[in-house]
Amino acid sequence: MSKTLKIYLFAFAVLIAVMIVIDQTRQRPLDWFPSYYLDEKKPLDLYVLNGEIDHLFSDSVVRYGKNPFEYFQQQDSLNIRKETYLFIRESVYIDESSTNKILKAVERGNTLFIVSDGFDPYLTDTLRATCEYVSYDNPVSFNSKIDERPELKLKFSKGIWSGEEYSYSPVFGRYAFLSADSASATALGYMTFPDGAEYINFIEFGVGKGKIILHNQPVVFSNYSLLSNKLSQEYAERVLSYLPDQPVVWFVASQQHDENMGRNQLSIVFRYPALRMTWLIFLYGLVVFILFTAKRKQRVVPVIKPVRNTTVEFVQTIGNLYFQEGDISDIARKKIIYFLDRVRRTYNIDTRLPEDKLIHRLHLKSGKDVELVKEILSLIAEINDRDQCSKQELIQLSLLMDRFWDSD
């Protein structure tokens, strides 16, 4: 091993060691992306709720990670006991077919509970409710001090906790219920923005023998909220207490992993520290390799130009002589003979084929535009049939043939 190579390897090892030290000692910022995954410990995930929710219901909670359509299709065939269907995500948009199956299940006495900052317009339209984004001037800030962040106040309007307020900071959910059918809807809670505007954020709809409950603040069930203080835990427990005492099927956000990965193909690499470090080492190593091996290790091989084909120039010269003599028809026949001969030698095509077959085969083998091929062969056939050629036809024939060969 040469001395130079040893120096390169030592420098590369030092670089890797420095990268590892920097990565392990740097302060990592919190990821506030609202993913709401069950197995993640980021602020806006559901790791804490996933560990505690089984203790809040008399029956165990079933986690279901597949498409809701499959579950409710199975339910239709089994027609089993009443259940509560739970969704907690940043936004819940269920396809129309699945929504219809859910509504049928609710009509039979089941309960649908959706906690989301956005609802499917098809569902809200079916419930005759209006849920829209409401403006608020102060932006969400995660870096400011806690006592300087704007607060969102939540309170219940029904039950024994009516009127009790709970504060959340910073403000997350921005969608609110602006109107609903009073015959089937009941407001269970309100939210108040820092500017004093109050909107319904917790609402119940009666559908057949069952009910649909919607809440627009999934942040109340996040790790951030449940670990921040006792009041936040109390609010989350009281929200869940509105659910009937029956088995719970929790449709977890497992499919959102794939959606997130579609946004960034490297997201799975940067999600895990070990994979991220491996990827960075590979990139830096590749840069070092390129820098130190960019020097060519052999002499430049000269480019030898191929011998020029003077046949075309010879034919052009002969053509010019014929043209000066003024025998237009003879020039056209020579050009046609030369063109067909070159087609036979270049593409191995029998030029005696019928015109339509010849056009098709020449188009396929040459890759030239079919209209150009058709125009050339049609003009050749016309000149051969009349055995005469005008000056204009000769010019057109020459231009078409040049176009054909120049497009190679």
Q: What is the pLDDT of residue 145?
A: 46
Min mean pLDDT across 98-102, 347-351, 384-388 is at 384-388
pLDDT band at 213 (very low <50, low <70, confident <90, very high): very high
Give the bridge partners for 215, in sequence order.
115, 202
Crossing angle of helices 370-386 and 391-406, in 10° steps, is: 150
Min mean pLDDT across 113-117, 243-247, 300-304, 365-369 is at 300-304
In this structure, the strands spanning 84-88 and 248-251 are parallel
Per mean pLDDT, which of 221-230, 291-300, 329-338 is the most reliable?
Answer: 221-230
Q: Element (H or E) spanning 402, and its range?
A: helix 391-406
List the structure tokens of 370: 């079919």
Check residues 170 and 53 and name the one with the higher pLDDT.
53
Q: H helices of 54-199, where? A: 68-78, 96-107, 121-126
Between CA 3 and CA 13 the distance in angstroms is 15
Write down all domains in the chain, each with its CATH number in brackets: 47-263 (3.40.50), 311-406 (no CATH)
Tell me the mean pLDDT in the region 351-380.
88
Per-residue b or e along 55-70, where b marks 16 or more CB atoms closer than 10 Å to that residue's CB = eeeeeebeebeeebbe
Backbone dihedral region of 228: left (phi > 0), alpha (psi from -120 to 50 degrees) or beta? alpha
Check residues 335 and 144 and name the one with the higher pLDDT.
335
Instruction: Give me the chain's average pLDDT, please.
Output: 81
**136-155 pLDDT tens trace:** 655 444 344 444 567 889 99
Q: What is the pLDDT of residue 140?
A: 43
Min mean pLDDT across 225-229, 280-284, 287-291, 294-298 is at 294-298
Tell me the mean pLDDT in the region 92-116.
90
Tell me the mean pLDDT in the region 330-340.
85
Question: How far is CA 33 from its chain centroid?
Answer: 17
Q: What is the pLDDT of residue 250?
A: 93
For residue 157, pLDDT beyond 50? yes
Q: What is the largest CA-CA distance in the chain?
A: 112
For residue 257, pLDDT beyond 50? no
List the structure tokens of 345: 């030698």
pTM: 0.58
Please compute, for residue 23, the number of CA atoms within 13 A of its CA located in the half-sphere on the CB side: 17
Q: What is the pLDDT of residue 71?
A: 84
Between CA 365 and CA 292 the distance in angstroms is 47
In this structure, the strands spanning 210-215 and 84-88 are unpaired
For residue 388, pLDDT beyond 60? yes
Tell me the mean pLDDT in the region 18-46.
81
